[in-house]
Amino acid sequence: MQFKKVIENVLEQLVGSLHELSEAEYVQPSKILNKASVGQHVRHIIELYMCLFNGYETGTVNYENRKGDIRIETDKSLAIELMMMICNNIERQDKELCLVSNYDEQSTEIITVATNYYRELLYNLEHTVHHMALIRVGINEVSAIKVPDGFGVAVSTIKYRKSCVQ
């Protein structure tokens, strides 16, 4: 699987920054992020991968069935452990999946879309990078640590910036 290493690199970049954060900084609400903490954004990332892994087993992925496990957003070590577990479990055969959701708070109608494991892994990768951009903002507010230059930046943006320099 060609993008396994990309996902691992992104998650390892996040883990590296979390190692530098104190426990207090990990859980500190950010004013800029509407009082969300770095830990809450990390939990959100982890739980989407967990939904995908569970959906792989059942054939149906539902990202709305996240647990909202407060332990992940308050225990930095647990979050790091889970991200390493994700890295160790990404490589699976591609297979057809069914994505189910309800995007309308006024309705109970379920939307069903055909998808596959690799497509959902790419979605999770993009979702991770997006939340890392928010995490970067949160870290800059609550901590003095320096995150890597490409932290929370899409690969297409990095490539574009490099092409502009030449």
CA pair distance 155, 152, nearest whole angstrom = 9
Comparing C-alpha atoms, which of 83, 1, 102, 6 is closest to residue 41? 83
pLDDT of residue 153: 74
> What CATH number should be reported for the domain holding residue 20?
1.20.120
Range of the domain at 59: 4-165
Query: pLDDT for 51-99, tens place per residue?
Result: 999 999 999 999 998 988 999 999 999 999 999 999 999 999 999 999 9
pLDDT, mean of residues 102-126: 89
pLDDT of residue 107: 74
pLDDT, mean of residues 11-22: 96
Total domains in the fold of the chain: 1
